[in-house]
Amino acid sequence: MVHYIQEVVPLSEIDGLDLHTGNILNATQHHVAEVFMPVAKNGRFIGAIEFFTDISDLRTTFITRLRISLTVLSGIALLALVAVSFASYRANRLQLRALQKQSAKERDLMEDQLRLAREVRLLGELNEWLQSSRSLDELFDMVSRFMTHILPEAEGSVYVYSNSRDVLDGCASWNGGTHKAHIHPEGCWGLRRGRTYEYGASEIDFVCEHAEPHDERPYFCFPILAHGETVGLLHLRALEGTDEAFHTSKKLAQLSAEQISMAIANVRMRDQLHDQSVRDPLTGLFNRRHMLETLRKSINRSQQTGAPLSLIAVDVDHFRKFNDTHGHDAGDMVLRAVGAALEQGCDRDEVACRIGGEEFMLILPDNTSDDAVTRAEQLRQAVEAVSVRYGEKSLPRITISVGVSHYPAHGTMPQDLMRAADDALYAAKDKGRNQVQVAGSGSDSQQISQLKKPVKAIGGKSTA
């Protein structure tokens, strides 16, 4: 059996001669490969043959190559590690960017949702407040305050059609905006075209007259519609440097215009219903119900402040003859003419009412007794100067009998003042009609009815 052994031995042990003991190399340890081959004869071991080979250089070469290989492998491993690390870093960086983008998108979405929730909340609050407003003035004050929060990037103003519908009256403005006293509907492209007009959205635009002087800032004109009828205009203009935000707010502005339009319609409908409940449908004057309520308030005010208060009762003379001779249409024309003259004669807080049939009453706060009597005579002359045409002919001259009562001389309660004025009215009729009678003072009323000198009548007319 052949044995292979590798060991480290001195060189002298290999060649069996210690010839170089003086040489340093003799003491050097060498790597030797030994081959041991036993020798046998007839099955008996008779000796062995040993072969020695110095493999020091071969081993050194092998180790050097092994080190180089390990170095190369280490470099490759290091490069692989660097590549893996770089790839991992890049993947993590990309993932981080994706997460950041996703986070930014979710943050923007959250901000949009919060902004939308805020806008919905403000619109809901605006609608709630507008529905509770009692007048258009109060409504427009609410609109001004809410719009500064709902659309902070826009200045605005609101216009509403006048009763004659020939012009729109400026009612409110906010965020530094201004409104004109009156604008004509043909001066707004939104009203002329019957839909929202957006200046700055097209390559070619035309400026509305009410937007002058114009500085090229974009603006919206929203016609305010109620029950299919245009009742006003909402005008919004971008503030400096907010053009992009202003354009994106168009939908919100449209919703605001719709809220305002519904509120205006509700207030006007409520006013119409109220007018129907307190107004006489024939003459347009206040009715008996409103007169009693106003008279109570006026008496309370006079009790607190000591201000004078007078009540005038009016009755059309021989009214039944108008109906019997010319028909009820003619009688209605007479009542409307008398009502118009009485309403024209009212000033400040004075109130003219039709309490039924051909009977009228006027409440004159802050009028002394002499002033009230003078006003009563002026009203009598103003009615006497009225000319009413019915068809192709003029109706006979209209005259009225007038009774005057004063607070507190003739009563401190509404029914007392009304009864005193009625008694003076019937006294005037008994004395020949077409005259003024003061309650509880017959001689004075006789003097008034006998006035012959011209007295300036309401409306600039005079009679002798």
Record the tokens describing residue 109, joined without a space: 């979405």
Q: How far apart are CA 458 and CA 380, in angstroms?
A: 9
> Which stretches of 340-440 are assigned E, i.e. beta strand?
351-356, 359-365, 389-390, 393-394, 400-407, 436-438
Q: Token match 């950041």: residue?
A: 100
Question: Annotated catalytic residue: which of 119, 155, 198, 358?
Answer: 358
Is there a contact between 58 and 33 (Cβ–Cβ < 8 Å)? no
State how far the alpha carbon of 160 is from the alpha carbons of 35, 143, 178, 341, in Å. Answer: 122, 13, 15, 29
Q: Does the annotation count 258 as an active-site position?
A: no
Is there a contact between 190 and 222 (Cβ–Cβ < 8 Å)? yes
Q: How far apart are CA 59 and CA 55, in angstroms?
A: 6
State how far the alpha carbon of 88 is from the alpha carbons of 77, 98, 301, 372, 413, in Å. Answer: 16, 15, 88, 101, 97
Is there a contact between 417 and 362 (Cβ–Cβ < 8 Å)? no
Q: How far apart are CA 418 and CA 423, in angstroms?
A: 9
Q: Token match 């060189």: residue?
A: 11
Is there a contact between 264 and 136 (Cβ–Cβ < 8 Å)? yes
- Which residues are part of the catalytic machinery? 358
